[in-house]
């Protein structure tokens, strides 16, 4: 096939992108989106600070805009993200443990019920582990006040709120085998053994020269898949340019395609001009929506 989405679909996968609602009025942005991609992730619009800026007062405007665009085009939607230490309104951090537990469960329940039936996969918990060799959990209001059990509680609440959505744990620097991915692996293994509802693990996959596509990327995706969960590449971007960037992209795509339960790939934006990585050119289309060598290598790999 001649587009990313259609080629991925031939292999039983989706090919998605992060989308920002405020660019949906830009015609080359929308035409590239509609032509090339069959899944979207709201880049910021479903984060806690966007949806529930003050306690129990929800505003869904920009997120709804993305979801209805996707639905009208038959694209899947990845929900991102329910429980995360970042882009979290300050009121959440000032609650005591009892209030925080109920605010967390209320946030998950309200948001997932609002979108019930419309979200393919939800990042229920994002980035709960520390970088480095300790394998420890990251400090956050949730971790600090509720302890390790907050993750399990979030997943159980999520399953009840939208039983049809796949429930994912999502993180970065877990793409290869290392202390952090080992810690996530052990958590997922424990969840599967104890029947805690988890369906998928997302690997953000933000790569650059200091953190390149790992040699054991495929092996790492496979070991998670072997636990009985789907795996997804959720926020792929690779700094660089030209053929070396293109080679890295094809290695990432090939790693996913080699793992049966790797169900889809999402790049973290359409065009370099709107990438969150301000200093780089990490995406598949340049600032004028021209296809880069990386685009052609991804299409060829799919």
User: Please, which residues have CB within 8 angstroms of residue 144's CB and are 6 or more apart in sequence?
Assistant: none
Contact 123, 83 (CB under 8 A): no
Minimum distance of ligand XIL from residue 278's CB (angstroms): 10
Residues 6+ positions from 21 with CB-CB distance below 8 Å = 42, 45, 62, 63, 65, 66
Q: Which of 104, 66, 72 is nearest to 85 (CA)?
A: 104
Of 195, 193, 200, 194, the C-alpha closest to 166 is 200
CB of 21 to ligand XIL, least distance (A): 12
DSSP annotation of 279 reads T
Q: Is 235 a catalytic residue?
A: yes
- The count of other CB atoms within 10 Å of the CB of residue 27 is 9
Number of H helices, E strands in the chain: 12, 9
Please report, as ranges, the residues that interact with ligand XIL according to CB under 6 A.
43-44, 126, 204, 235, 276
For ligand XIL, the closer CB: 126 or 263: 126
**Helices 242-257, 293-301: crossing angle, 10 deg rounding:** 20
Query: Residue 41 Cβ, how far from ligand XIL at the closest point, in Å?
Result: 9
Indicate the residue among 170 and 297 with the shorter CB distance to ligand XIL.
170
Nearer to ligand XIL, 14 or 268 (CB): 268
Catalytic residue among 36, 127, 153, 235: 235
- Catalytic positions, written as ranges: 235
């Amino acid at each position: 096939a001649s587009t990313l989405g259609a080629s991925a679909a031939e292999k039983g996968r989706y090919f998605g992108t992060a989308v920002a609602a405020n660019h949906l009025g830009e015609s080359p942005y929308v035409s590239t989106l509609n032509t090339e991609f069959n899944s979207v992730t709201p880049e910021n619009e479903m984060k806690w600070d966007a949806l529930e800026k003050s306690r129990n007062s929800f505003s869904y405007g920009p997120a709804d805009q993305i979801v209805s665009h996707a639905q009208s085009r038959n694209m899947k939607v990845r929900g991102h993200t329910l429980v995360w230490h970042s882009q979290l309104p300050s009121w959440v951090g000032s609650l005591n443990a009892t209030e925080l537990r109920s605010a967390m469960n209320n946030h998950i329940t309200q948001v997932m019920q609002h979108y019930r039936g419309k979200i393919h996969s939800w990042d229920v918990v994002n980035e709960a582990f520390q970088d480095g060799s300790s394998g420890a959990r990251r400090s956050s209001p949730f971790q600090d006040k509720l302890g390790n059990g907050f993750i399990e509680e979030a997943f159980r609440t999520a399953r009840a709120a939208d039983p049809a959505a796949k429930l994912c744990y999502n993180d970065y620097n877990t793409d290869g085998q290392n202390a952090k991915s080992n810690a996530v692996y052990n958590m997922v293994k424990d969840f599967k053994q104890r029947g805690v509802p988890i369906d998928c693990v997302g690997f953000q996959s933000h790569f650059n020269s200091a953190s390149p596509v790992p040699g054991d990327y495929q092996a790492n995706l496979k070991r998670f898949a072997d636990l009985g969960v789907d795996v997804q590449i959720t926020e792929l971007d690779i700094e660089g340019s030209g053929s070396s960037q293109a080679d890295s992209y094809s290695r990432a795509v090939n790693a996913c395609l080699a793992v049966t339960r790797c169900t889809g790939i999402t790049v973290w934006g359409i065009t370099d001009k709107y990438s969150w990585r301000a200093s780089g050119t990490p995406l598949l289309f340049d600032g004028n929506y021209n296809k880069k060598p990386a685009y052609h290598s991804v299409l060829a790999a799919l």
